[in-house]
Protein backbone atom coordinates (compact mmCIF):
# COMPACT_ATOMS: atom_id res chain seq x y z
CA UNK A 1 0.00 0.00 0.00
CA UNK A 2 1.15 3.54 -0.74
CA UNK A 3 -0.33 7.03 -0.51
CA UNK A 4 -1.11 8.91 -3.71
CA UNK A 5 -2.79 12.09 -4.89
CA UNK A 6 -5.55 11.17 -7.33
CA UNK A 7 -6.51 13.67 -10.04
CA UNK A 8 -9.66 13.66 -12.17
CA UNK A 9 -9.67 15.72 -15.39
CA UNK A 10 -13.41 16.28 -15.72
CA UNK A 11 -14.21 18.43 -18.79
CA UNK A 12 -11.06 17.26 -20.59
CA UNK A 13 -12.66 13.86 -21.08
CA UNK A 14 -14.99 15.49 -23.64
CA UNK A 15 -12.19 16.71 -25.89
CA UNK A 16 -12.20 13.80 -28.35
CA UNK A 17 -9.08 13.53 -30.50
CA UNK A 18 -7.43 16.45 -28.64
CA UNK A 19 -7.92 14.82 -25.24
CA UNK A 20 -4.36 13.47 -24.94
CA UNK A 21 -2.91 16.91 -25.67
CA UNK A 22 -5.11 18.54 -23.01
CA UNK A 23 -4.29 15.86 -20.43
CA UNK A 24 -0.56 16.13 -21.14
CA UNK A 25 -0.77 19.89 -20.57
CA UNK A 26 -2.72 19.39 -17.32
CA UNK A 27 -0.17 16.92 -15.98
CA UNK A 28 2.57 19.45 -16.70
CA UNK A 29 0.66 22.16 -14.80
CA UNK A 30 -0.04 19.90 -11.79
CA UNK A 31 3.59 18.82 -11.48
CA UNK A 32 4.69 22.45 -11.80
CA UNK A 33 2.32 23.43 -8.98
CA UNK A 34 3.69 20.64 -6.77
CA UNK A 35 7.34 21.47 -7.39
CA UNK A 36 9.18 21.48 -4.07
CA UNK A 37 6.98 18.90 -2.38
CA UNK A 38 8.26 15.43 -1.51
CA UNK A 39 6.56 13.47 -4.29
CA UNK A 40 7.59 10.35 -6.20
CA UNK A 41 6.49 8.86 -9.50
CA UNK A 42 3.35 9.83 -11.38
CA UNK A 43 1.31 7.75 -13.82
CA UNK A 44 -2.02 7.53 -15.63
CA UNK A 45 -4.47 4.74 -14.92
CA UNK A 46 -7.55 4.72 -17.19
CA UNK A 47 -7.09 8.50 -17.77
CA UNK A 48 -6.86 9.46 -14.12
CA UNK A 49 -3.56 10.85 -12.85
CA UNK A 50 -1.91 9.50 -9.71
CA UNK A 51 1.07 11.11 -7.98
CA UNK A 52 2.98 9.34 -5.22
CA UNK A 53 3.16 11.37 -1.99
CA UNK A 54 6.26 10.41 -0.02
CA UNK A 55 5.55 12.68 2.97
CA UNK A 56 1.89 12.46 4.00
CA UNK A 57 2.28 15.43 6.39
CA UNK A 58 2.39 17.59 3.23
CA UNK A 59 -1.01 16.43 1.98
CA UNK A 60 -2.92 19.50 3.18
CA UNK A 61 -0.66 21.89 1.27
CA UNK A 62 -0.47 19.56 -1.74
CA UNK A 63 -4.26 19.51 -2.00
CA UNK A 64 -4.43 23.30 -1.57
CA UNK A 65 -1.94 23.82 -4.42
CA UNK A 66 -3.47 21.25 -6.76
CA UNK A 67 -7.02 22.62 -6.40
CA UNK A 68 -5.73 25.91 -7.88
CA UNK A 69 -4.66 24.26 -11.15
CA UNK A 70 -6.96 24.92 -14.11
CA UNK A 71 -8.19 21.93 -16.11
CA UNK A 72 -8.95 19.56 -13.23
CA UNK A 73 -12.29 18.39 -11.85
CA UNK A 74 -11.32 17.19 -8.37
CA UNK A 75 -8.37 15.77 -6.42
CA UNK A 76 -8.25 13.30 -3.57
CA UNK A 77 -5.75 11.62 -1.22
CA UNK A 78 -5.94 7.86 -1.68
CA UNK A 79 -4.24 4.59 -0.88
CA UNK A 80 -3.16 2.27 -3.69
CA UNK A 81 -3.61 -1.37 -2.77
CA UNK A 82 -3.84 -4.81 -4.34
CA UNK A 83 -6.92 -5.78 -6.38
CA UNK A 84 -8.15 -8.20 -3.75
CA UNK A 85 -10.59 -7.69 -0.90
CA UNK A 86 -8.05 -8.43 1.82
CA UNK A 87 -5.88 -5.50 0.71
CA UNK A 88 -8.91 -3.31 0.07
CA UNK A 89 -10.14 -3.91 3.62
CA UNK A 90 -6.72 -3.05 5.09
CA UNK A 91 -6.69 0.21 3.11
CA UNK A 92 -10.18 1.22 4.21
CA UNK A 93 -9.36 0.49 7.85
CA UNK A 94 -6.20 2.62 7.60
CA UNK A 95 -8.09 5.50 5.95
CA UNK A 96 -10.80 5.58 8.62
CA UNK A 97 -8.40 5.14 11.55
CA UNK A 98 -6.31 7.99 10.13
CA UNK A 99 -9.34 10.29 10.59
CA UNK A 100 -9.79 9.43 14.30
CA UNK A 101 -13.59 9.23 14.19
CA UNK A 102 -14.61 8.74 17.84
CA UNK A 103 -18.29 9.65 17.63
CA UNK A 104 -20.98 7.84 15.64
CA UNK A 105 -20.76 8.40 11.87
CA UNK A 106 -23.10 7.60 9.02
CA UNK A 107 -21.50 6.36 5.80
CA UNK A 108 -22.13 5.09 2.31
CA UNK A 109 -19.84 2.93 0.17
CA UNK A 110 -19.17 3.82 -3.48
CA UNK A 111 -17.38 1.75 -6.11
CA UNK A 112 -16.13 2.36 -9.65
CA UNK A 113 -15.03 -0.57 -11.82
CA UNK A 114 -13.06 0.79 -14.79
CA UNK A 115 -11.49 -2.68 -15.13
CA UNK A 116 -14.47 -4.67 -16.48
CA UNK A 117 -12.61 -7.96 -16.04
CA UNK A 118 -12.85 -7.66 -12.25
CA UNK A 119 -14.92 -10.43 -10.70
CA UNK A 120 -17.73 -8.24 -9.29
CA UNK A 121 -19.70 -5.28 -10.65
CA UNK A 122 -19.77 -1.87 -8.98
CA UNK A 123 -22.87 -2.49 -6.88
CA UNK A 124 -21.51 -5.79 -5.57
CA UNK A 125 -18.16 -4.19 -4.72
CA UNK A 126 -19.87 -1.34 -2.87
CA UNK A 127 -21.98 -3.79 -0.85
CA UNK A 128 -18.90 -5.79 0.14
CA UNK A 129 -17.01 -2.61 1.10
CA UNK A 130 -19.96 -1.53 3.26
CA UNK A 131 -19.75 -4.85 5.09
CA UNK A 132 -16.03 -4.29 5.70
CA UNK A 133 -16.72 -0.92 7.35
CA UNK A 134 -19.45 -2.31 9.60
CA UNK A 135 -17.27 -5.26 10.58
CA UNK A 136 -14.35 -3.05 11.65
CA UNK A 137 -16.03 0.03 13.15
CA UNK A 138 -18.84 -0.18 15.74
CA UNK A 139 -19.47 3.59 15.56
CA UNK A 140 -20.33 3.54 11.81
CA UNK A 141 -23.83 2.97 10.43
CA UNK A 142 -25.24 3.06 6.89
CA UNK A 143 -27.12 6.08 5.53
CA UNK A 144 -27.51 6.03 1.76
CA UNK A 145 -29.28 9.42 1.53
CA UNK A 146 -27.15 11.81 3.60
CA UNK A 147 -23.97 10.01 4.64
CA UNK A 148 -21.35 11.91 6.64
CA UNK A 149 -18.51 9.74 5.32
CA UNK A 150 -18.11 8.56 1.73
CA UNK A 151 -16.02 5.41 1.35
CA UNK A 152 -14.75 5.03 -2.21
CA UNK A 153 -13.09 2.11 -3.97
CA UNK A 154 -11.87 2.64 -7.53
CA UNK A 155 -10.79 -0.45 -9.46
CA UNK A 156 -8.67 0.27 -12.54
CA UNK A 157 -5.46 -1.42 -13.62
CA UNK A 158 -4.65 -0.96 -9.96
CA UNK A 159 -6.95 -0.40 -6.98
CA UNK A 160 -7.44 2.82 -5.01
CA UNK A 161 -9.38 3.62 -1.83
CA UNK A 162 -10.24 7.08 -0.50
CA UNK A 163 -12.71 8.99 1.70
CA UNK A 164 -12.64 12.60 0.52
CA UNK A 165 -12.39 14.48 -2.74
CA UNK A 166 -11.83 18.19 -3.23
CA UNK A 167 -13.28 20.31 -6.02
CA UNK A 168 -10.88 22.43 -8.06
CA UNK A 169 -11.36 25.71 -9.93
CA UNK A 170 -12.11 23.72 -13.10
CA UNK A 171 -11.71 25.15 -16.58
CA UNK A 172 -9.07 24.18 -19.14
CA UNK A 173 -5.29 23.89 -18.84
CA UNK A 174 -3.34 27.13 -19.21
CA UNK A 175 -2.01 27.59 -22.74
CA UNK A 176 -4.57 25.44 -24.55
CA UNK A 177 -6.71 28.49 -25.41
CA UNK A 178 -4.03 30.78 -26.85
CA UNK A 179 -2.40 33.87 -25.33
CA UNK A 180 -4.06 37.17 -24.46
CA UNK A 181 -2.90 40.49 -23.05
CA UNK A 182 -4.96 41.76 -20.11
CA UNK A 183 -5.40 45.53 -19.74
CA UNK A 184 -4.79 45.65 -15.99
CA UNK A 185 -6.06 48.96 -14.64
CA UNK A 186 -5.63 48.49 -10.90
CA UNK A 187 -9.39 48.37 -10.29
CA UNK A 188 -11.68 45.55 -9.21
CA UNK A 189 -12.78 44.30 -12.63
CA UNK A 190 -9.69 43.61 -14.71
CA UNK A 191 -8.07 40.95 -12.43
CA UNK A 192 -11.38 39.05 -12.40
CA UNK A 193 -11.55 39.26 -16.20
CA UNK A 194 -8.04 37.85 -16.47
CA UNK A 195 -8.91 35.01 -14.11
CA UNK A 196 -12.06 34.13 -16.08
CA UNK A 197 -10.14 33.96 -19.38
CA UNK A 198 -7.39 31.88 -17.77
CA UNK A 199 -10.08 29.39 -16.68
CA UNK A 200 -10.73 28.76 -20.37
CA UNK A 201 -7.09 27.85 -21.00
CA UNK A 202 -5.82 31.30 -22.04
CA UNK A 203 -2.27 32.20 -21.07
CA UNK A 204 -2.43 35.70 -19.60
CA UNK A 205 0.02 38.56 -19.98
CA UNK A 206 -0.75 41.97 -18.48
CA UNK A 207 -0.23 45.57 -19.54
CA UNK A 208 -0.64 48.48 -17.14
CA UNK A 209 -0.92 52.06 -18.40
CA UNK A 210 0.09 54.81 -15.98
CA UNK A 211 0.82 58.52 -16.12
CA UNK A 212 3.61 58.96 -13.59
CA UNK A 213 4.27 61.46 -11.99
CA UNK A 214 0.58 62.51 -12.17
CA UNK A 215 -0.20 59.06 -10.78
CA UNK A 216 1.98 57.75 -7.96
CA UNK A 217 4.51 54.97 -7.64
CA UNK A 218 2.02 53.37 -5.24
CA UNK A 219 -0.51 53.12 -8.07
CA UNK A 220 2.04 51.26 -10.19
CA UNK A 221 2.98 49.03 -7.25
CA UNK A 222 -0.71 48.27 -6.69
CA UNK A 223 -1.10 46.97 -10.27
CA UNK A 224 2.04 44.83 -9.94
CA UNK A 225 0.71 43.30 -6.72
CA UNK A 226 -2.56 42.50 -8.47
CA UNK A 227 -0.61 40.68 -11.18
CA UNK A 228 1.34 38.85 -8.46
CA UNK A 229 -1.88 37.71 -6.78
CA UNK A 230 -3.32 36.61 -10.14
CA UNK A 231 -0.20 34.55 -10.83
CA UNK A 232 -1.23 32.16 -8.04
CA UNK A 233 -3.97 30.97 -10.41
CA UNK A 234 -2.82 31.89 -13.91
CA UNK A 235 0.89 31.08 -13.57
CA UNK A 236 3.77 33.27 -14.71
CA UNK A 237 2.66 36.66 -16.05
CA UNK A 238 4.65 38.66 -18.59
CA UNK A 239 3.94 42.18 -17.30
CA UNK A 240 4.27 45.40 -19.34
CA UNK A 241 4.15 49.00 -18.09
CA UNK A 242 3.62 52.00 -20.36
CA UNK A 243 3.57 55.71 -19.45
CA UNK A 244 0.63 57.47 -21.15
CA UNK A 245 1.38 60.99 -19.90
CA UNK A 246 2.46 62.41 -23.29
CA UNK A 247 -0.68 61.00 -24.89
CA UNK A 248 -3.01 62.46 -22.25
CA UNK A 249 -1.19 65.80 -22.52
CA UNK A 250 -1.68 65.85 -26.30
CA UNK A 251 -5.36 64.89 -26.01
CA UNK A 252 -6.04 67.56 -23.38
CA UNK A 253 -4.25 70.20 -25.44
CA UNK A 254 -5.79 69.42 -28.85
CA UNK A 255 -9.08 67.56 -28.42
CA UNK A 256 -12.48 68.14 -26.84
CA UNK A 257 -12.47 67.02 -23.22
CA UNK A 258 -15.59 64.85 -23.43
CA UNK A 259 -13.80 62.47 -25.85
CA UNK A 260 -10.73 61.93 -23.60
CA UNK A 261 -11.67 58.47 -22.32
CA UNK A 262 -12.52 57.01 -25.74
CA UNK A 263 -9.45 58.54 -27.39
CA UNK A 264 -7.14 57.22 -24.67
CA UNK A 265 -8.70 53.75 -24.86
CA UNK A 266 -8.06 53.65 -28.59
CA UNK A 267 -4.43 54.62 -27.97
CA UNK A 268 -4.14 51.82 -25.42
CA UNK A 269 -5.38 49.31 -27.99
CA UNK A 270 -2.89 50.55 -30.60
CA UNK A 271 -0.01 50.27 -28.14
CA UNK A 272 -1.19 46.86 -26.91
CA UNK A 273 -1.41 45.66 -30.51
CA UNK A 274 2.24 46.61 -31.10
CA UNK A 275 3.25 44.56 -28.05
CA UNK A 276 0.98 41.69 -29.04
CA UNK A 277 2.63 41.49 -32.46
CA UNK A 278 6.12 41.49 -30.95
CA UNK A 279 5.45 39.11 -28.06
CA UNK A 280 2.95 36.85 -29.80
CA UNK A 281 -0.32 37.49 -28.03
CA UNK A 282 -3.51 36.56 -29.89
CA UNK A 283 -5.92 39.11 -28.45
CA UNK A 284 -6.81 41.32 -25.51
CA UNK A 285 -8.86 41.02 -22.31
CA UNK A 286 -10.60 43.89 -20.54
CA UNK A 287 -12.76 44.11 -17.42
CA UNK A 288 -15.58 46.02 -19.07
CA UNK A 289 -19.18 45.30 -18.07
CA UNK A 290 -21.95 46.74 -20.22
CA UNK A 291 -23.37 49.98 -18.84
CA UNK A 292 -21.23 49.97 -15.68
CA UNK A 293 -19.64 53.35 -16.51
CA UNK A 294 -20.09 55.93 -19.27
CA UNK A 295 -17.35 54.49 -21.46
CA UNK A 296 -18.86 50.98 -21.38
CA UNK A 297 -21.82 51.46 -23.68
CA UNK A 298 -22.33 49.49 -26.89
CA UNK A 299 -21.37 52.53 -28.93
CA UNK A 300 -18.17 53.15 -26.93
CA UNK A 301 -17.17 49.49 -27.12
CA UNK A 302 -17.70 49.47 -30.87
CA UNK A 303 -15.53 52.56 -31.39
CA UNK A 304 -12.73 51.11 -29.22
CA UNK A 305 -12.89 47.80 -31.12
CA UNK A 306 -12.22 49.71 -34.35
CA UNK A 307 -8.74 50.71 -33.11
CA UNK A 308 -7.30 47.19 -33.40
CA UNK A 309 -7.54 44.21 -35.72
CA UNK A 310 -7.13 41.75 -32.80
CA UNK A 311 -10.12 40.42 -30.83
CA UNK A 312 -10.98 42.03 -27.49
CA UNK A 313 -12.50 39.61 -24.97
CA UNK A 314 -14.79 40.99 -22.27
CA UNK A 315 -15.71 38.03 -20.03
CA UNK A 316 -17.53 40.25 -17.50
CA UNK A 317 -19.72 41.97 -20.08
CA UNK A 318 -23.08 40.83 -18.60
CA UNK A 319 -22.10 40.64 -14.93
CA UNK A 320 -23.42 42.82 -12.12
CA UNK A 321 -20.88 44.69 -10.02
CA UNK A 322 -21.85 42.64 -6.98
CA UNK A 323 -20.98 39.42 -8.85
CA UNK A 324 -17.61 40.83 -9.89
CA UNK A 325 -16.84 41.94 -6.33
CA UNK A 326 -17.66 38.47 -4.97
CA UNK A 327 -15.31 36.85 -7.50
CA UNK A 328 -12.58 39.42 -6.70
CA UNK A 329 -12.88 38.52 -3.02
CA UNK A 330 -12.70 34.83 -3.87
CA UNK A 331 -9.39 35.24 -5.75
CA UNK A 332 -8.10 37.68 -3.09
CA UNK A 333 -7.62 40.68 -5.38
CA UNK A 334 -10.42 42.82 -3.93
CA UNK A 335 -8.53 44.29 -0.97
CA UNK A 336 -5.66 45.34 -3.23
CA UNK A 337 -8.01 46.78 -5.86
CA UNK A 338 -9.79 49.10 -3.43
CA UNK A 339 -6.60 50.74 -2.19
CA UNK A 340 -7.03 54.50 -2.83
CA UNK A 341 -4.41 55.01 -5.55
CA UNK A 342 -5.88 56.40 -8.79
CA UNK A 343 -4.93 54.94 -12.16
CA UNK A 344 -4.49 57.13 -15.22
CA UNK A 345 -8.04 56.49 -16.47
CA UNK A 346 -9.51 57.85 -13.24
CA UNK A 347 -7.11 60.78 -13.01
CA UNK A 348 -7.81 62.11 -16.52
CA UNK A 349 -11.50 61.17 -16.71
CA UNK A 350 -13.65 64.05 -18.04
CA UNK A 351 -16.51 65.43 -15.96
CA UNK A 352 -19.06 64.76 -18.73
CA UNK A 353 -17.75 61.97 -20.97
CA UNK A 354 -19.43 61.12 -24.24
CA UNK A 355 -21.61 57.99 -23.84
CA UNK A 356 -22.64 57.39 -27.46
CA UNK A 357 -19.59 58.27 -29.53
CA UNK A 358 -19.69 58.10 -33.32
CA UNK A 359 -16.63 56.82 -35.13
CA UNK A 360 -16.41 59.80 -37.50
CA UNK A 361 -16.39 62.21 -34.52
CA UNK A 362 -13.57 60.27 -32.88
CA UNK A 363 -11.59 60.11 -36.10
CA UNK A 364 -12.03 63.87 -36.52
CA UNK A 365 -10.52 64.39 -33.06
CA UNK A 366 -7.66 62.00 -33.85
CA UNK A 367 -6.85 63.99 -36.97
CA UNK A 368 -5.65 66.72 -34.59
CA UNK A 369 -2.99 64.36 -33.23
CA UNK A 370 0.15 62.68 -34.59
CA UNK A 371 -0.95 59.17 -33.64
CA UNK A 372 2.10 57.23 -34.84
CA UNK A 373 4.53 59.56 -33.10
CA UNK A 374 2.60 59.46 -29.82
CA UNK A 375 2.44 55.65 -29.91
CA UNK A 376 6.18 55.37 -30.56
CA UNK A 377 6.97 57.84 -27.76
CA UNK A 378 4.84 55.83 -25.36
CA UNK A 379 6.57 52.60 -26.36
CA UNK A 380 9.91 54.18 -25.43
CA UNK A 381 8.73 54.15 -21.78
CA UNK A 382 8.08 50.39 -21.85
CA UNK A 383 9.18 48.36 -18.83
CA UNK A 384 8.82 44.57 -18.75
CA UNK A 385 8.71 42.25 -15.73
CA UNK A 386 8.17 38.52 -15.40
CA UNK A 387 5.91 37.96 -12.42
CA UNK A 388 6.23 34.44 -11.07
CA UNK A 389 4.15 32.76 -8.40
CA UNK A 390 6.19 31.76 -5.34
Helix (H, G, I), strand (E, B) or coil at 1: coil
**Sheet with 312-313, side-by-side order of all strands:** 312-313, 283-285, 179-183, 203-210, 237-243, 383-387
DSSP 3-46: EEEEEE-GGGGG-GGGHHHHHHHHHHHHHHHTTTS-EEEEEEET
**Spatial distance between the Cα atoms of 12 and 2, rounded to a whole number of angstroms:** 27
Q: Angle 304-364-248 (CA atoms, 0-180°, nearest 5)? A: 60
Helix (H, G, I), strand (E, B) or coil at 78: strand
Helix (H, G, I), strand (E, B) or coil at 286: coil
**Spatial distance between the Cα atoms of 285 and 273, rounded to a whole number of angstroms:** 12
Q: What is the largest CA-CA distance in the chain?
A: 86
**Spatial distance between the Cα atoms of 338 and 302, rounded to a whole number of angstroms:** 29
Residues 6+ apart with CB under 8 A from 17: none
Binding site feature residues? 183-184, 208-209, 265, 287, 296
**Spatial distance between the Cα atoms of 177 and 112, rounded to a whole number of angstroms:** 32
By DSSP bridging, strand 2-8 and strand 74-81 are: antiparallel
How many other CB atoms sit within 10 Å of the CB of residue 157?
A: 11
Helix (H, G, I), strand (E, B) or coil at 385: strand
Instruction: Report how far apart, in Å, the C-alpha atoms of 178 and of each of 23, 175, 197 are.
Output: 16, 6, 10
Classify the C-alpha dihedral 353-357-359-360 as positive or negative.
negative
- Under a CB-based contact definition with an 8 Å cutoff, are residues 76 and 62 in contact? no
Binding site feature residues for ATP? 183-184, 208-209, 265, 287, 296
Amino acid sequence: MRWLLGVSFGELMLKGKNRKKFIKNSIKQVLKALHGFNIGEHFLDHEKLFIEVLDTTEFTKIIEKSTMVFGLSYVYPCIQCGKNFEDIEKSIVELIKNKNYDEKKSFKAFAVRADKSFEMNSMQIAAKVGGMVLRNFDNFYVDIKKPEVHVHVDIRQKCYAYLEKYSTIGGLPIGTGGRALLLLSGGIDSPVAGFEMARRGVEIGAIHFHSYPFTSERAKDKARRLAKQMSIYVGEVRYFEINMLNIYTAINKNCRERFTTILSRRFMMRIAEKLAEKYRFDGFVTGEALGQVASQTIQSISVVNDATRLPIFRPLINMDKSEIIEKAKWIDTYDISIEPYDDCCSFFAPERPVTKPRLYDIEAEENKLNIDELVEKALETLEIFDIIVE
